[in-house]
Amino acid sequence: MATMTSKLHSSVASAHRFDEAALLRYAVSNVEGFPGAPNRLVVSQFGHGHSNPTFLLEVSHDTGDSTRAPSKRYVLRKKPPGALLESAHAVEREFQVLKALGDHTNVPVPKVFCLCNDPSVIGTSFYIMEYLEGRIFVDSKLPGVAPDTRKAIYRASAKALASLHSVNVDAIGLERFGRRENYCRRQVERWERQYLSSTGEGKPYRNPKMLELASWLKKHVPVEDSSRTATTGLVHGDFRIDNLVFHPVEDRVIGILDWELSTLGNQMCDVAYSSLPYVVDINSSEDGIHGGFELTGRPEGIPSLPDYIAEYCFASGKPWPVSDWKFYLAFSLFRGASIYAGVYHRWTLGNASGGERAQLSGKRANVLIDTAWMVINTQSLLPNKPPFGHEISRDDPAKLLPTEQQGKFVPSQRVLHLKRKLLHFMENHIYPMEKEFSELAQSSLRWTIHPEESRLKELAKKEGLWNLFIPLDSAARARKLLFAGNDYNALGVDSNMLGAGLSNLEYGYLCEIMGHSVWAPQIFNCAAPDTGNMEVLLRYGTKDQQKEWLIPLLEGRIRSGFAMTEPKVASSDATNIECSINRRGDSYIINGRKWWTSGAMDPRCKLLIVMGKTDFTAAKHEQQSMILVDIDTPGVRVERPLMVFGFDDAPHGHAEVSFENVEVPVENILLGEGRGFEIAQGRLGPGRLHHCMRLIGAAERGMQLMVERALKRRAFGKRIAEHGSFLSDLAKCRIELEQTRLLVLEAADQLDRYGNKKARGILAMAKVAAPNMALRVLDMAMQVHGAAGLSSDTVLSHLWATARTLRIADGPDEVHLGTIAKLEIQRAKL
């Protein structure tokens, strides 16, 4: 039978009591939505197998009129009291992994609210997380459970394990969560050390067979362990059925618990560990039979071991693990034995959680050691191939299909939440203001800022819709460089300024929505060229450069321009650039003429990133450098605004700018002389993809307006929507839009996974496809609107003009096509 999580707690063990009043004070100010004072806190302790004591917090709020609002439940997890084994009980790491998974993936984990490292609150570090109401199957034999449900429960746990093993750790900020290579080797050494420190003289009995086991394991470490392979990634470390919370009635996992041992490494260890019920019954106590299902018989409905592993391999795409299975199983038993020995040692010292269960741990350690030797001496454990036909799940193929919460391009809950907020903001604040913004931009006050823009920016900041474009890795660099020690306040900067920690793919879903309106991106501080310029400063800026320029840009106090293109030379080939940046003493002197410097007309524009040559004689791609120039420096002259099909894009504009003996300090050079191309590559990858994402949004807006118009407007006796030619054109637009969206999302995903250089082919494809698709859709939308579509009375002509520029402004199509073709030919030559 399953036990509901609400039935797994009892009163707090005396050794684990803590200062509840201090906790309450802390939680009220650190957990969003925690009931405010006055309130009542009831603490109880989960008794089921936790090496880090885990508590249920039930907090209710006095309403003041003798009633009490229903209590809210949270779970607190802390380190145990007393002296601890080195590196064990790291609740900080548990918090880190849960936060990353909860924020960026669909892996089922409880939401975490706060981490407290201050021991003065309740004596040790702790964190507070969501309470999950659901079923826990304490016994892996699933007694009292119907055969069908048993099958579904095992299948669901294999899928849950596959889901966590499919996580792209590099994209969710966990790339340094552990060393990936040589995991097993290090683990064998680590658990051997741990075993030695838990047993021996003055401590519980040390089993010599355990030491022999360690030697055997060291000799049989799989070859795949030494490098990054298909099985390297996030490892849970304690993945077993009783660490999973299942939905109260549906047979699916809603929470994977107990992440204490999680790290990066060889995921086959998790798979083997989760298979231990097949080889040993660790729940059988005292002198009972300790064999697992393979020996004692499987309870009806529980799949065979090969079926269980095949289910996992199919869901995760991992190879069939036959070759080293013996090692992985023996290692899992060895590690389990070391953990049990540690728990038993703690029990003898009086500070193990888990009550009576802890007392049995010493015996269990020895059972596992014996079982490991039995496994080693067994001929075959897994068949050479997965069982026939398991891929097409024999009984219910539909259950194997991804659900609506799975799939490569299904945004995480967090992104969906941001998306809802963004859509709401667009409806309530952006669309209603579009007409007024446009009117001001066409008036004699065109180069001024509408006061509503500043108000909306503040609102976007408050709503957490600010700087969402900043990728996780760039934010991490700036956080380290600029805000070491998390001291945001010393600089007077709000920590939200570094965005929401999204990957490029995650941002893609949001950036698309901003693309619905030409006015939206700047309200969220996500407009070009500021985004690209901030990216440059985040990635390549020194601490001083970041302080001077990045912070005001992050805060939206200033704007910036990127000055590369020159009227005199074909600038799609940046090696042609003629602007000179010459060193003179402690200064650089800049001379040249640029045009199409977007944003330079904006009254708030303060910074120009200028690309020029510091050495005309160096190798072709080492002549260029980038330098930071204050637009008010003597010699910088904004000559004139340029027009795009009659739009000057006021108040930001695109300017022709001349530089005449402009002197800037040497510290303003970015990254160093000759590094301009390198920076351009870093800048243009994500930045250009943002354009593509916005173009998807612009096309969606076109589709929406086109359909609305076609449903309202009548011509030749019927609505335009009833004319056959419209219907087929509309359908073709939708097909093209969806194709392009998938391409752009795939490009974002590859950018996250492989980086700019490796993803350059698909990035180039997205850059060609997106503007061309948007142009066709918007052109069709304008056509359906008749003459109105070409006027400025709808947003269509402006969206179209912007889309058209992106066949050139972001590098001409021909250049991107050249990249794609070159890669294609290279592939053919391989």
Ligand X SMILES: Cc1cc2nc3c(=O)[nH]c(=O)nc-3n(C[C@H](O)[C@H](O)[C@H](O)COP(=O)(O)OP(=O)(O)OC[C@H]3O[C@@H](n4cnc5c(N)ncnc54)[C@H](O)[C@@H]3O)c2cc1C
Which chain residues interact with ligand X by CB under 6 A? 529, 562-565, 570-572, 596-598, 644, 654, 805, 808-809, 811-812, 814-815, 818
Pair 106, 159: CB distance under 8 Å: no
DSSP letter for each residue of 17-58:
---HHHHHHHHHHHSTTPPPSSEEEEEEEE-SS-SS-EEEEE
- Containing H/E element for 295? helix 293-296
Shortest separation between residue 771's beta carbon and ligand X, angstroms: 11
**Shorter beta-carbon distance to ligand X: residue 102 or 811:** 811
Rounded-to-integer distance, Cα 696 and Cα 692, Å: 6
**Would you tell me how many other CB atoms lie within 10 Å of the CB of residue 106?**
18
Pair 258, 201: CB distance under 8 Å: no
**Shorter beta-carbon distance to ligand X: residue 323 or 572:** 572
Q: Beta strand 9-10 with 39-46: parallel, antiparallel or unpaired?
A: antiparallel
- In total, the chain counts a number of residues equal to 830
Q: Measured between alpha carbons, how far is residue 611 from residues 135, 491, 593, 596, 667 in Å?
A: 61, 29, 11, 13, 15
Q: Measured between alpha carbons, how far is residue 224 from residues 99, 231, 312, 685 in Å?
A: 29, 8, 19, 33
**Shorter beta-carbon distance to ligand X: residue 733 or 778:** 778
Shortest separation between residue 161's beta carbon and ligand X, angstroms: 48
Q: Hey, which bits of 120-267 come out as E strands?
A: 126-130, 135-136, 232-235, 244-246, 253-256, 263-266
The residue among 399, 372, 392, 416 whose CA lies nearest residue 209 is 372
Shortest separation between residue 636's beta carbon and ligand X, angstroms: 15
**Shorter beta-carbon distance to ligand X: residue 98 or 564:** 564
**Shorter beta-carbon distance to ligand X: residue 411 or 521:** 521
Shortest separation between residue 609's beta carbon and ligand X, angstroms: 9
Task: Give the CA diameter of the chain.
Answer: 99
Shortest separation between residue 529's beta carbon and ligand X, angstroms: 5
**Shorter beta-carbon distance to ligand X: residue 430 or 564:** 564
The residue among 539, 567, 644, 642 whose CA lies nearest residue 600 is 642
Pair 136, 8: CB distance under 8 Å: yes
3-state secondary structure of 209: helix
Rounded-to-integer distance, Cα 533 and Cα 53, Å: 47
**Shorter beta-carbon distance to ligand X: residue 181 or 578:** 578
Rounded-to-integer distance, Cα 288 and Cα 281, Å: 9
Shortest separation between residue 767's beta carbon and ligand X, angstroms: 12
Give me the helices (H) in 599-723, please.
676-712
- Cα 475 off chain centre by: 13
Shortest separation between residue 442's beta carbon and ligand X, angstroms: 17
**Shorter beta-carbon distance to ligand X: residue 789 or 811:** 811
Shortest separation between residue 183's beta carbon and ligand X, angstroms: 46
**Shorter beta-carbon distance to ligand X: residue 411 or 651:** 651
**Shorter beta-carbon distance to ligand X: residue 194 or 598:** 598
Shortest separation between residue 475's beta carbon and ligand X, angstroms: 24
Shortest separation between residue 55's beta carbon and ligand X, angstroms: 56
**Shorter beta-carbon distance to ligand X: residue 81 or 812:** 812
Strand order in the sheet with 9-10: 9-10, 39-46, 54-61, 72-78, 126-130, 112-116
Shortest separation between residue 641's beta carbon and ligand X, angstroms: 11
CA angle 818, 822, 826 (to 5 degrees): 175
Pair 272, 240: CB distance under 8 Å: no
> Hey, what are 410's tokens?
């299904």
Shortest separation between residue 593's beta carbon and ligand X, angstroms: 12
Pair 447, 652: CB distance under 8 Å: no
**Shorter beta-carbon distance to ligand X: residue 5 or 565:** 565
**Shorter beta-carbon distance to ligand X: residue 107 or 764:** 764
Shortest separation between residue 318's beta carbon and ligand X, angstroms: 43
The residue among 303, 341, 326 whose CA lies nearest residue 381 is 326
Rounded-to-integer distance, Cα 408 and Cα 746, Å: 9
Shortest separation between residue 536's beta carbon and ligand X, angstroms: 13
Q: Beta strand 126-130 with 232-235: parallel, antiparallel or unpaired?
A: unpaired
**Shorter beta-carbon distance to ligand X: residue 260 or 530:** 530
3-state secondary structure of 717: coil
**Shorter beta-carbon distance to ligand X: residue 467 or 598:** 598
